[in-house]
Every structure is written in C-alpha cells, then in structure tokens.
Amino acid sequence: MTVTTEIGHWVDGKPFAGTSSVTAPVTNPATGQVTGAVRMADVADVRTAIDAATAAFPDWRDTSLAKRTAILFRFRELLNARKPELAAIITAEHGKVLSDALGEVTRGQEVVEFACGIPHLLKGGFTENASTRVDVYSLRAPLGPVAIISPFNFPAMVPMWFFPLAIAAGNTVVLKPSEKDPSAALWIAQLWAEAGLPPGIFNVVQGDKTAVDELLTNPAIKAVSFVGSTPIAQYVYSTGTAAGKRVQALGGAKNHAVILPDADLDLAADAMVNAGFGSAGERCMAISVAVAVGDIADDLVVKIAERTRTLRTGDGRTEADMGPLVTAAHRDRVSGYIDAADADGATIVVDGRGATGDGGTEIDVSQGFWLGPTLVDHVTPDMSAYRDEIFGPVLSVVRVDSYDRALDLINSNPYGNGTAIFTNDGGAARRFQNEVEVGMVGINVPIPVPMAYYSFGGWKNSLFGDTHAHGTEGVQFFTRAKAITSRWLDPSHGGLNLGFPQNA
C-alpha cells in the first residue's frame, strides 16, 4: 500500500520532524490500508522535547492564574466547536465508530472544563498570628516538566485526563501517544497553539520503548502519568520511581457485573451488550464478565444473545454499531481467547470469529481487522478467557449460586478497576458497594466512569501509585505543597489610584 502521510512530532509550539529516520506504519483498521508513517523518536528527539518543556516552565509557572485560565477557556471553546474533526481522526486510526469517538472527546472535555476552575482548586490555607506576629500559610506549586504516556484505545480522552490539570497548575507537558493512532495528539497540540498557549508548554513525541525509557529516566521530567496494560504499568512505575519521579500508572482490568435474581433482566442485558461490545471491547472499563446469580442465567444469556446478534460491525463512518479491532495482530490475539474457551469446554453462544464488516457501497473493508461481538457461556475461573484481560468484544458469563460467591469471585481477582451490580434491592447494593474491593463501582450503571470532578482509578493490579487521575487527586498529583512561616515589620506605604482593581 502507498503511504500517504508522514506523522511527526510537535515541539516548542511547532511541528518537529526529529533526527530519527525510523518509522512505523499507521493503518485504517476498517480497510487494512496503510495511511501513514509515524516517526519514531530517538533519545535525541525526546531530549529536544524535554528541553523545550524545561525552558518554557519558569515563565509558565509565573504566569498568573487569570491568564492561564483564559487560555484554558479558549481551548475549551475551540474544542467544543471542532470536536467532530478530532472524532474523525480517531475513527480513521483507531477504528471506533464516529459516535463513540465523539463521546470520547466529550468525556475528555469534561476534564478541560474542570481544569478551568483551577484557581479555586489551588487555594492554600492561612493562619494569622500562629505565633506572636507570625503567620503561617500554604500553597500548591507546580512540579515542572511532566510526561504523559497514553494508550491506543482512547487517543484523545486519556491524555485529557491529565494535561488540562497539569497545564492549568503551571506545569509543562511532554505527551507520548500510542504509535498506533498518533495523529489525535498533534491535532490537540495545534489547537493549544490556536488557543494562545505559549510554545514549549505542550509537546508531543511519537515513539516506542526508546521514547518511554527516556521520559522515565530523564531527570528533567518530574512526574509521569501512564495508562496501559498491567505489566507495562508495573514497569513504568518501578522505573520511574527508581529515577525519583512521581508516578501514577493505571493498568489493566477484568471488570465483573453481578446480576442478582431480582434485577430487571432486560435492562441488565442491554447494559451487558453496551458495556461489553462498545468500542469493540477495547476499553479498560468494559464489562468482560457477567456474573449470573442463581437461576436467572439461562434467561439472561438468551436476552444478551438476542441483542448481540443484532449488532452490525463495519467502518466507523457508516451506521455500524461496532468497528474493527485496532490491528490484525490484536484481532488474532482476541480470537485466540475464543478458541481457547471453546477448547476448554465453554459454550460459544454468539461467535464473532469470521465476521465481516460493512463498508457501505464505496468502502472496501475486505482487509479490515474484523471480529464480531462474541458471547461465551459456562466460563469458569480456571479458563484463560476468564483469567486474562482480553481487551476485545468478548463477554463471558460465569454462573454462581449466591451473592457471596459472586463477591468472592470479584475480590479474589487480581484486578480491581471497575465493577457493577444490577439489582432492585437497595440493601444488597449498599452491601456490595461496601464489601467489593474495586476502585470504581456502578449500581445499575455498567461503566461507572466518574465525572471529572471525581477521580478515576482502580485498586490492586489496576493502579500503581497512590494517586488517581483527574478530580482533586489529579490536582494534588500535578502540584506539591509548600508551607511558609513569616514575620513582618509593620510597614506603611501609600499612593493614589482610583481605578477599579483588575486581575492580570
């Protein structure tokens, strides 16, 4: 296939080609066509971006909150007006349908809006006359240059979990997006420039482990935010903290939904399909295990299967419900888990292997990375389809005889990202939210992603570090506390100025 676009970096407020000649292909997952070549940064390229962020930090740190938030508001308005452009870029490189891509941008924008209130969030405390004529007060100061390493599944939303707060708090940023869908980050960088963000404050370097390792070990980088698989999260956390950095590393998930016998099975079935197959299951908050309690399992499986069979896979620009997987290799990996479940004795109720996509009348999708929504019943905890994070459109049904067994299943799992319970019993729901060992809990809500003013993140092997993303914990992550004790003489000074006081 002919490569049509070269995708580079963004450093110091402008496109940057870098010195490395190494590239990686970028594909349209719906067609299998190579649409671009992304430049893979070498150490020198990454250091150029870090140097730009380092040079820009002192002036940005000293820029008033009024001016910082004005730029944030302009960025928010530009994003709101043009987010369909960003959604189209995401669909072209990730494969998710346009409505899903637009939803991703909208959820990311919530953090931008939350960051617009940063002056209130950065307020310190003050104690007058703590000792005789001695005052004590506190403030929160920015860290310096920070790094963000983001995954392929949300090329806009996940970076927006971090960089709005980092920038609003006075830090500078180096973002390394996934090489699978690198263009969204460059579009965002251009939007920041249009909003008036000075050069060097938001930088983008494309790359692989070479770029990651430099960000994790370079002493100029003060903190690292990461989202990805658990093994890589562990690596990022251990490497970054060993280099003296503050690290928040969000890892993988195996999210269970418990359906109690009193639940509305139609609503529960809708939720399982929506949460299991949205974005082709390539979500860290996707429900991958439906835990059917008691004698409802047969009816629940029938209802889920009926709905699953109505879903249409196709190019994200069409009216399809679900797009392709991001790469052929990932499609084959996910398909392998279905093979293994079949061999282990599970029942493949709806089989997505061999699925084809719909490209309409004008788009050839015969080489797309297709795998249809798949429903697997009678899955047991010893099967690989249960143990591993599949990260694809595979929903497993595990049958248990009691609430206690369902709870034990979740609490014994090494992951603790998200979970949900479906019930009409308020007492059972309240007990569940108290007893379950998971960071984010939904009650009749299948994907309990909190609003931006709360914080996002799991427990156990789903999070390394002690600070979650966005919300007040995000503000704390990108700032550090400083306490000042002062004693002053009683000066007198004056001067006349009848103008109205202004912030600047």
Q: Which positions are catalytic?
A: 284
* Structure token digits, residue 451: 């609003």
Contact status, residue 250 vs residue 413, Cβ threshold 8 Å: no
Strand pairing class (374-377; 287-293): unpaired
* Structure token digits, residue 202: 């938001």
Contact status, residue 218 vs residue 174, Cβ threshold 8 Å: no
Contact status, residue 322 vs residue 312, Cβ threshold 8 Å: yes
| 392-428 exposure pattern, b = at least 16 Cβ within 10 A, e = fewer | bbbbbbbbbeebeebbebbeebebbbbbbbbbeeeeb
* Structure token digits, residue 185: 């980050």
Q: What sign results for the dihedral spanned by CA atoms 336, 338, 342, 345?
A: positive
Give the count of beta carbons closer than 10 Å to the beta carbon of residue 2: 6
DSSP string, 182-193: -HHHHHHHHHHH
Conformation bin of residue 12: beta by default, left when phi > 0, alpha when psi is -120 to 50: left
Please name which of 305, 347, 285, 355 lies closest in space to residue 325, comparing C-alpha atoms. 355
Please name which of 488, 447, 441, 374 lies closest in space to residue 107, comparing C-alpha atoms. 447
Alpha-carbon distance 435 to 187, whole Å? Answer: 43
Q: Residue length, the chain?
A: 504
Q: What are phi and psi of 451, to 5 degrees?
A: -65, 160
Please name which of 287, 313, 89, 63 lies closest in space to residue 185, comparing C-alpha atoms. 89
Burial of 245 from C-beta contacts in 10 A (0-12 / 13-18 / 19+): buried
CA atoms within 13 A on the CB side of 245: 29
